[in-house]
Amino acid sequence: MPLEPFTVLTSRTVVLPGANIDTDQIIPARFLTTTTRAGLGRHLFADWRYRPDGTARSDFVLNRPEAHGCRILVAGRNFGCGSSREHAPWALADYGFRAVISTELADIFSSNCLKNGLLPVTVDEPTSAWLIEHPGAQVTLDVHACTLTLPHGAAVPFPLEAFARHCLLRGLDELDYLLERRNEIETFERRA
């Protein structure tokens, strides 16, 4: 399915500074009994956002008024570790996030983000430390240039796999590319 092209994103940030925030925190397993992708945003960080009785915890960052409208999540090291559940990026995207920034992102999570128009951005320690110390900072992510521009104007490069970048910029679905490889796949199958 074609996605919206992702070129430039400017937004304030929300910060979750802890290291090793796993996919069970992003979306607990009890919400994985759904058979669709839709509507998972309301379960994002469910056990941190809500008390056992379902009321919102006012001290959790996503429940504070300044988090409203923020599309970039800044997180501590190794965000998205654990399960392969794509429900994690589905929940983040459904909530409204378009990018996640950390010093390190888990492999499967990162790959899942790219399939859902959610930009996984890894930056160096000083940049991460600055972002964590400045929640709500307005930053710009440029997919074409692969840069993160901080409010004071410094542009920090981030790595982005070339094909993933190509797909994001044009809103392409990787499945179309794979389907176009049919002859090569048939040749491989005959050879194997």
Q: Of residues 9, 62, 108, 137, which one binds other proteins by CB under 8 A?
A: 108
Residue 116: closest CA among 188, 58, 44, 175: 175
In the sheet with 147-149, reading across from the earlier edge strand, the strands are 119-122, 99-102, 72-75, 8-16, 138-142, 147-149, 155-157
Pair of tokens at residue 180: 């176009």
Q: Using the rule CB under 8 A, is 124 a contact of other proteins?
A: no
Interacting span for other proteins (CB under 8 A) from 4-12, 63-71, 79-87, 134-142 = 79-87
Cβ nearer to other proteins, comparing 152 with 190: 190
Q: Of residues 9, 12, 28, 138, which one binds other proteins by CB under 8 A?
A: 28
145 backbone dihedrals φ, ψ, rounded to 5°: -85, -10
Residue at 172: amino acid letter? L
**Which residues bind to other proteins, rule: CB under 8 A?**
1, 17-20, 22, 24-25, 28-30, 32-37, 47, 52, 76-78, 81-86, 89, 104, 106-108, 111-112, 115-116, 161-163, 166, 174-175, 177-179, 181-182, 184-185, 188-189, 192
